[in-house]
């Protein structure tokens, strides 16, 4: 009997032992740190790549000007002529201050919510079924948005104002707190949360679903980077299209203080926009710009996160083998 046990244990491969043995607290912490690092890099690269388009979109969202692709690129061109090349990235420092923790928290939270829901529904270590997959993405987006919201508001203020009004991120916080009260730092919070539920939920759901579909039909365990970009682009297109009207409402409420306008609630803001500009021209203003920048940003973000996770796992495995 002793020999049988010995032979059986010798026959086990290292990867089998890893699946049998419980994961230690140290491994859990390492996974969370890897997710945070991967998410932070993914968010920074994605947002920097599309920053000029994002700034242009925000300027149109908070104004009553009629949007068109021609007008958008004309605005980019004249901004470059009058204020210089790097002015196209004005507000990007505030974006980085917000997006790095936002993306880090969102991706890390998504991994944790997948584990929790997987255990709850009995799918631990497997791809989640559709409904929990959607819930995991929505919860991840809500968690990240709740923690980092004031930074998003600051980014919007810096994007639509000149250097003379707000010299840096801290200046925005100080002036808003002094002139508009501390509550102003969470102005537009509710439309943000209501918008992030379909946006993050559908983005993560679409990306995870496409990866699962690819695995089942291609026979390959991992998609190529280009395929990940395409999956991410589809995810961004669907997620942003579903939540776009609430994104417009959010921007109007965030920048009301510097535009001399007052928006008391989501409903009042919606009514004012529809009454003054119409449904399509008002609530979907700049959507075509989002269709250009959104898929690029989300594609870069998801691809970077996945590739960083794979790289960090390989580095961890090498360090374990050496030790």
Taken in order of first residue, the domains within the chain and their CATH numbers are 65-180 (1.50.40.10), 187-299 (1.50.40.10)
Confidence of residue 6 (pLDDT cuts 50, 70, 90): very low
Confidence of residue 259 (pLDDT cuts 50, 70, 90): low
pLDDT in tens, 188-211: 888 889 889 999 999 999 999 999
Q: Is pLDDT larger for residue 183 or for residue 231? A: 231
Q: Report the pLDDT value the prediction gives residue 26, as an integer from 0 to 100.
A: 65
Does 124 score more than 90 pLDDT? Answer: no
Q: Which of 27-41, 208-222, 243-257, 258-272 has the lowest mean pLDDT?
A: 258-272
Q: Which CB contacts under 8 angstroms, 24+ apart, belong to 277-283? A: 277/64, 281/66, 281/67, 282/248, 283/244, 283/245, 283/248, 283/249
Q: Report the pLDDT value the prediction gives residue 260, as an integer from 0 to 100.
A: 61
Mean pLDDT on 45-51: 90
Mean pLDDT on 26-32: 81
Confidence of residue 18 (pLDDT cuts 50, 70, 90): very low
What's the whole-number average pLDDT of the chain? 82
Confidence of residue 21 (pLDDT cuts 50, 70, 90): very low
Region of residue 278 (phi > 0: left; psi between -120 and 50: alpha; otherwise: beta): left
Q: Report the pLDDT value the prediction gives residue 104, as an integer from 0 to 100.
A: 96
Does 269 score more than 50 pLDDT? Answer: yes
Mean pLDDT on 290-309: 92
Mean pLDDT on 277-293: 83
What tokens appear for 87 in the block? 């002015």
Closest CA to 232 of 295, 142, 278, 182: 295
Q: Is 69 exposed, middle or buried (0-12, 13-18, 19+ CB in 10 A)?
A: exposed
Q: Report the pLDDT value the prediction gives residue 127, as an integer from 0 to 100.
A: 78
Q: Report the pLDDT value the prediction gives residue 196, as an integer from 0 to 100.
A: 93
Q: Which of 5-14, 211-220, 272-281 has the lowest mean pLDDT?
A: 5-14
CA atoms within 13 A on the CB side of 49: 17
Does 1 score more than 80 pLDDT? Answer: no
Buried b (16+ CB within 10 A) or exposed e, 204-236: bbbbbbbbeebeeeeeeeebeeebbbbbbbbbb
pLDDT in tens, 211-234: 999 999 998 888 999 999 999 999
Q: Report the pLDDT value the prediction gives residue 114, as an integer from 0 to 100.
A: 93
Does 72 score more than 70 pLDDT? Answer: yes
User: Contact at 8 Å (CB) between 142 and 113?
Assistant: no
Confidence of residue 11 (pLDDT cuts 50, 70, 90): very low
Confidence of residue 103 (pLDDT cuts 50, 70, 90): very high
Nearest-angstrom CA–CA distance, 75 and 293? 16
What tokens appear for 25 in the block? 């607290």
Distances (CA, A) of 266 to 139, 187, 232: 21, 10, 30
Q: Which of 45-49, 161-165, 206-210 has the lowest mean pLDDT?
A: 161-165
Find where tokens 């009995």 sit: 122
């Amino acid at each position: 009997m002793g020999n049988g046990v010995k032979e059986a244990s010798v026959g086990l491969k290292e990867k089998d032992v890893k699946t049998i043995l419980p994961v230690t607290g140290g491994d859990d912490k390492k996974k969370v740190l890897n997710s945070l690092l991967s998410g932070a890099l993914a968010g920074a690269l994605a947002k920097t790549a599309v920053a000029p388009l994002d700034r242009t979109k925000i300027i149109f969202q908070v104004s009553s000007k009629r949007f068109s692709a021609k007008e958008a690129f004309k605005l980019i061109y004249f901004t470059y002529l009058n204020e210089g090349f790097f002015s196209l990235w004005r507000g990007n420092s505030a974006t980085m201050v917000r997006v790095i923790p936002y993306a880090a928290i969102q991706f890390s939270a998504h991994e944790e919510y997948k584990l929790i829901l997987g255990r709850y529904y009995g799918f631990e270590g497997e791809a989640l079924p559709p409904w929990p997959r959607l819930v995991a993405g929505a919860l991840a987006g809500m968690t990240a948005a709740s923690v980092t919201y004031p930074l998003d508001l600051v980014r919007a203020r810096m994007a639509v104002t000149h250097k003379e009004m707000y010299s840096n991120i801290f200046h925005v916080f100080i002036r808003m707190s002094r002139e508009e009260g501390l509550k102003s730092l969470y102005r537009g919070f509710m439309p943000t949360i209501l918008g992030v539920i379909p946006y993050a939920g559908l983005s993560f759901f679409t990306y995870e679903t496409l990866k699962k579909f690819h695995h089942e039909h291609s026979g390959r365990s991992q998609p190529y980077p280009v395929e990940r970009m395409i999956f991410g682009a589809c995810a961004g297109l669907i997620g942003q299209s579903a939540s776009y009207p609430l994104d417009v409402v959010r921007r109007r409420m965030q920048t009301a203080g510097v535009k001399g306008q007052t928006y008391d609630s989501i409903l009042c803001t919606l009514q004012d926009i529809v009454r003054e500009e119409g449904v399509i021209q008002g609530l979907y203003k700049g959507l075509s710009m989002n269709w250009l920048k959104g898929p690029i940003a989300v594609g870069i973000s998801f691809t970077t996160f996945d590739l960083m996770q794979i790289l960090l796992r390989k580095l961890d495995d090498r360090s374990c083998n050496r030790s």
